[in-house]
Structure 1
Amino acid sequence: MQWPSKKQWLAWHTFIGVLSGMMLFIICWSGTFATVSHELDWLTNPAWRSDASNVSHQQLVDAYRQVQTTMPQAKIMQLESASSAGYAISVIVKPPQAAPEYVLVDPQTMHINGSYSALTIARFFRDFHMALFNPLGIGKYLVCIFALLLLTSIVTGLMFYKRWWQKFWSLPSGNSARARWSSWHRWLGLWSLWFSLLIGVTGTWYLYEQTRFSLFDGLFSYTDSAAGAERPLPQLSAQKATITPDQLAQAIAITEQALPELTIHQISLDRGGYLFIAGQTSSLLVRHRANKVYIDPSTMQLAYRQTAADLSPYWRWSNMADPLHFGDFGGLYSKLIWVVFGLALSVMAFSGTWMYVKRLAAKASPSSIKSLRFAVYLSWLSLVAALVIAALHIIALAQGPDGWHWLPMPLGSALFLLAWSVTTLVGCIWGGYGLIKRVNNDFSLI
């Protein structure tokens, strides 16, 4: 079997770029904003802000008591405290005959800053980036397939770029616009190589996890109270009584004894009947639920404790994927690094499509025209479909059982999401239309 030539590697890289470029752009573009989405909520909604430097375990109990006293008819589902200072405690509640919402409590004053829709900026970007709001239940597959295309694009690009490891310090140059774009594309690609590989590998891992869960053994966790755990906990009957603040304080005391180094960031009041408490220890690069405690609320006895150190290599890696993919392991500083390289990857995905079409316009053969047109049309239509799905998702959330209603979103957050959505939609439609027009004009005489 003959090894592919440099020209063949370039042709494959080009076709993959044209086919996946625009969808890869919107995935990377939304993922870049998802990385700092909590910070965007903090900036656009004053209710998320607090002067408290950190949140103590006792303050979580006090916030629970405050919400339970203020909203006695609502079911408290979960408490969350941010990993960074300056944030309010978020309490997820389910009022009677209403959708779940966030109640934000200042940990310093125990004042309830406000109650808002569960559709925060963070939730919007995470759901859109992860699964395009999951149309037909296949959204995560659609997104993760592009991680495979990203890895394929990296391999084919390196195979035709001769001695690429020597070109890091070669500044972009060129005598024509196409040559300059090509030079910038290669330069950004080299400096973003580590990031592209990281995103491609973790994205491909998500595809494997989703495939395993949906089509094979249904496993998603090492230990859990729900079905789908490698080591499931004994099932408990549904909780009949509301957890009192004193019981929650007792549960936290049990947790502190079982895991003295745990900083609590998440408390679920009814996870399969258990009280579930999770957070961070000295273990590096893991999501909160790698370190967790389950407590039987009927007996107030510890049912299970776990740290990341207890996990097998497989499940340790599974809990590392999110911090690596979103770069939130080092606070705001690591997130900003991920934002910079996320923007670079977005620029490469979008500009690469234009550059490849211009290159093919100069050297196209009749046999390549049909495949190029197919790739461009498919890429553009899939992008528009993804954006339309996002719009329909927002509209569906605004249509309650009694007709249309305004989502209880803060004005700043609503305006930001509207501006981002309109700008992205208009930019993608304009760019896609221009690309299709160029394809038809450049190849009309061939």
Structure 2
Amino acid sequence: MNKQTWYKWHSYAGFPLAVFLCFIMFTGTLAVLSHELDWLSNPAIRAPASNQSLDWPAYYRNVLNVANGDRIYQLSAPLHNGFAAEAILIDKHAQRYRVFFKPDTYEYTGNGAWFNWQTTLRRLHRHLMLPLNIGLTIVSATAFLLCVSLISGLVLHPQWWRGLWRLPRQHNLRVFWGDLHRLTGLWSSWLLAIMAVTGLWYFVEKYGLAASYPDNAPVTTEEAKETAVRVQPDVFEKAINHAHAIRPDLRITSVFLPVKPGQPIRIDGQAGHILVRDRANNLIIDPVSGALLSTREGSQLSVHARISEAADPLHFGTWSGYWSKSLYFAFGLVLTSLCVTGTIVYAHRIRKWRRGLTPPLLPVIGAGITSMKVGALVSFALIVTGLVLTASTLAGL
């Protein structure tokens, strides 16, 4: 294919749905730092920095004191230093909410809604608040467009490494926006590649290529099989002791408690394995007897499962704490801007304004969006649907 053909493919992939791609990239970028947005907006999440290990049994007893009979679903360690420990509870109306505790004294610091910044942004970005099968399919399918955009963009710049240091020319607006689009595209191509590959993985995982994991052992006591057990403090302590004794390398991050009959205690954490979610390492405990039922280690998962595990840390930038999240956030904004600059470049190409008579920037963007025609209508329809469903969900809480 010649250069003109590659340019057409680049335009076909990025332009018609540029508004929707911009929305997906922007919400994903915000989602990278969504926990930090919660920290800023809810004082209960802020806590003194503490380097001491979490005393999980003491933490659990304090959660029980605050729960007032509500079911405890999950206990989590602080996400970062300066964050409170968080527990998720379920009230009598089956609604989830959050409670927070200082990680050193386990003093209760306040509540938080289930739909916080993190939950809202993640769901809006992941599936537009639509039913998961529909929304996830729509969003993850955009990864095909990202792949075409990335490949065609690099083909159009065969010596792309030279373009990394070529500043935009400013003698002509059309040339300036084209140079800026090229420059930001080259610098953010590494993140675009990660988003494209992980997005494709989410799509194929949804439709037949999901990895298989070792089964967690079932509960053994009759009471646990028949009822959603409220775990006693001594059983909880026994479970934590099992974890420390059997997996001394495990840094416990979350403990899940039964909320339905047949559910065990599940302890998740990290043990130094690269690019795995917390659930890759777990211990399954009977909630009545406290007996250890099974364990899972991230290092023993299949290659297929390790690929599946790597998708989330790579996609959300959580693989190196604040360093990776800050990097993803900064370059995520750059990726988002590509949709805008690409629209401007395309508008300049199709409108052919005379030199010196180029209209202001917003009308240029408007002309580009108008040229998207059906693509613009589809984009706005999906965005408005996602925002309306989000507002409806939040208003109904």
Deviation at 1:94, TM superposition (A): 0.8
Partner of 1:334 in structure 2? Answer: 324
Partner of 2:36 in structure 1? Answer: 39
Name whichever of 236-245 and 289-298 sits farther off: 236-245
Q: Secondary structure at the match of 1:27?
A: helix
Q: Secondary structure at the match of 1:243?
A: coil
C-alpha distance after superposition, 1:349-390 (max 9, x if no partner): 222122113213339xxxxxxxx9997133322332233233
1:142 and 1:234 mapped to 2: Cα distance?
35
Identity %: 33
Q: Secondary structure at the match of 1:299?
A: coil
The number of residue pairs the alignment matches comes to 377
Partner of 2:292 in structure 1? Answer: 302
2:160 and 2:284 mapped to 1: Cα distance?
51
Partner of 2:213 in structure 1? Answer: 222
* Mapping 1:39-438, distance limit 5 Å: 39-54=36-51, 56-58=53-55, 60-135=56-131, 137-212=133-208, 219=210, 221-225=212-216, 233-234=217-218, 237-270=225-258, 273-362=263-352, 376-398=372-394, 400=396, 407=397
Q: Secondary structure at the match of 1:270?
A: coil
2:243 and 2:177 mapped to 1: Cα distance?
56
Q: Secondary structure at the match of 2:333?
A: helix
C-alpha distance after superposition, 1:182-218 (max 9, x if no partner): 10111111111111111110111111111127xxxxx
1:323 and 1:145 mapped to 2: Cα distance?
20
Code of the residue aligned with 2:292 in structure 1: it is L
The runs of 5 or more residues in structure 1 that have no matched partner are 214-218, 226-232, 364-371, 401-406, 408-446
Contact (CA 8 Å) 1:251, 1:300: kept in 2 or not? yes
Q: Secondary structure at the match of 1:354?
A: helix
Code of the residue aligned with 1:119 in structure 2: it is F
Q: Secondary structure at the match of 1:222?
A: coil
Q: Secondary structure at the match of 1:180?
A: helix
Code of the residue aligned with 1:46 in structure 2: it is P
Q: Secondary structure at the match of 2:309?
A: helix
Q: Secondary structure at the match of 1:26?
A: helix
2:137 and 2:52 mapped to 1: Cα distance?
37
TM, length-normalised to structure 2: 0.88
1:76 and 1:373 mapped to 2: Cα distance?
49
Q: Secondary structure at the match of 2:16?
A: helix
The runs of 5 or more residues in structure 2 that have no matched partner are 354-367
Contact (CA 8 Å) 1:295, 1:301: kept in 2 or not? yes
Deviation at 1:44, TM superposition (A): 1.3
2:21 and 2:228 mapped to 1: Cα distance?
47
1:80 and 1:109 mapped to 2: Cα distance?
15
Q: CA, structure 1 residues 249+281, in 2 after alignment: closer, same or farther (shift >3 Å)?
A: same
Q: Secondary structure at the match of 1:97?
A: coil
Deviation at 1:295, TM superposition (A): 1.3
1:12 and 1:375 mapped to 2: Cα distance?
17
Q: CA, structure 1 residues 238+196, in 2 after alignment: closer, same or farther (shift >3 Å)?
A: farther
Q: Secondary structure at the match of 2:87?
A: strand
Name whichever of 254-263 and 239-248 sits farther off: 239-248
TM, length-normalised to structure 1: 0.79
1:61 and 1:203 mapped to 2: Cα distance?
39
Q: CA, structure 1 residues 156+296, in 2 after alignment: closer, same or farther (shift >3 Å)?
A: same
1:47 and 1:224 mapped to 2: Cα distance?
37
2:158 and 2:393 mapped to 1: Cα distance?
51
1:373 and 1:90 mapped to 2: Cα distance?
44
Code of the residue aligned with 1:37 in structure 2: it is S
2:40 and 2:212 mapped to 1: Cα distance?
34
| CA RMSD across the alignment | 2.3
Code of the residue aligned with 1:267 in structure 2: it is V
2:99 and 2:370 mapped to 1: Cα distance?
49
Contact (CA 8 Å) 2:229, 2:288: kept in 1 or not? no
C-alpha distance after superposition, 1:246-282 (max 9, x if no partner): 2111101101122111111111102851111111111
Name whichever of 263-272 and 282-291 sits farther off: 263-272
**What is the aligned counterpart of 2:13 among 10, 16, 21?**
16
Contact (CA 8 Å) 1:15, 1:375: kept in 2 or not? no
Q: CA, structure 1 residues 262+299, in 2 after alignment: closer, same or farther (shift >3 Å)?
A: same
Deviation at 1:336, TM superposition (A): 0.6
Contact (CA 8 Å) 1:258, 1:305: kept in 2 or not? no
Partner of 2:356 in structure 1? Answer: none
Name whichever of 125-134 and 165-174 sits farther off: 165-174
Contact (CA 8 Å) 1:17, 1:356: kept in 2 or not? no
